[in-house]
Structures are given as C-alpha cells and as structure tokens.
C-alpha cells in the first residue's frame, strides 16, 4: 500500500493520494437563490488576545468568499492573469462591524452581486452567525491589466455575474 507516513519513524500510513475523497478537498461554497454562501469556522489564529475575531480577519473571510464565488461561477482569474488579460483588484471597500465573533463560531459569508459595470462589479457581503449579521461590507472590484490600469472585464464574466444576479447585461460583447 502506498501512502503518507504519519511520522518519519512510523510504519503507519494514510492511503494516498489524499485528494480522491471529496472530504479531503478544500472547503467550497455554493450558490443558492442568487447569492453565494461560504462557510467559515473561527480558528484560534483568527482571534485577538481577548478571544474575539481580530477586525482585519473579517477582510480575509470576505476575500476568501469572493475568490470562491468566482471559482464556483466558472471564472478562472488565474488563467486570465497568466494569459495577460488581467485580474480583479479591490477598488473600494467599506465594512461595518455589528457583533463580535469568537473562537469556534461557525460563520456564513453571503455574497450578492450588485451593479455590474464595464470594468467593475459591486458586491455586497454579509458575515452571519446563526442568522445574525456579524459584519457587512460593500466592495467594488475593478478588472485591471497586468500594469494595474482599469480595463473592460471579459464579456463572458459580465454575463455570468448578470445571470447570478438575475440581471440582463446589454452590450456585454
């Protein structure tokens, strides 16, 4: 049996390769009712010395959710960047903190597409715990060239955003 040793001096091993089972793959969100849902568990590293989530870590949570939303929607930012087309960059972000999250809390980041423009997209994001808003953010992401200049985002991507949001995109091509 091939596998990965549990300890360097151990003969015990875990069958490999490890990513064949869906349970061993990284966490992924999903779309439901026109929004993207992304679960997050609060780990010790996410908290400050008082045991609550450090404010900057909410930005990490919502960034992961936005990145996952693009991936789940079929938007391959990495391929676009490597092909020289560009990538999304946060152009504006405003966040409101409503409640404190704590170690081991189960949070849900809900992302909704707002206005879709030629070179940018507005996204409303809420971090929820048991149906209550913990934090909420308004985010504008701009599509930029490798040189950092704004440029039109791919028409197919605008169409995907429009389908998610239930908006008809005219002149997308």
Told to judge if 33 belongs to the known catalytic residues of this protein, a careful annotator would answer no
As a three-state string, the secondary structure of the chain is CCEEECCCCCCCEEECCHHHCHHHCCCCCEEECCEEEEEEECCHHHECCCCEECHHHHHHHHHHHHHHHHHHHCCCHHHHHHCCCCEEEEEEEEEEECCCCECCCEEEEEEEEEEECCCEEEEEEEEEECCEEEEEEEEEEEEECCCCCECCCCHHHHHHHHHHHCCCCCCCC
Catalytic residue among 9, 21, 46, 48: 48
End-to-end CA separation in angstroms for the chain: 53
* Catalytic machinery residues: 48
């Amino acid at each position: 049996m091939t596998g990965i040793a549990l300890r360097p001096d151990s003969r015990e091993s875990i069958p490999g390769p490890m990513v064949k089972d869906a349970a061993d793959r990284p966490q992924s969100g999903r779309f439901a009712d026109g929004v993207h849902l992304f679960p997050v568990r609060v780990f010790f590293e996410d908290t400050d010395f008082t045991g609550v989530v450090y404010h900057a870590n909410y930005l990490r949570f919502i960034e992961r959710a936005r990145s996952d939303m693009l991936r789940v929607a079929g938007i391959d930012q990495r391929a676009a960047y490597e092909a020289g087309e560009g990538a999304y960059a946060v152009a504006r972000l405003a966040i409101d903190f409503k409640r404190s999250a704590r170690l081991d809390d189960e949070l849900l980041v809900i992302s909704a597409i707002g206005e879709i423009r030629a070179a940018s997209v507005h996204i409303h994001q809420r971090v929820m715990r048991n149906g209550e808003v913990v934090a909420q953010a308004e985010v504008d992401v701009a599509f930029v060239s490798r040189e950092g200049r704004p440029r039109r985002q791919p028409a197919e991507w605008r169409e995907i955003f429009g389908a998610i949001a239930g908006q008809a995109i005219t002149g997308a091509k």
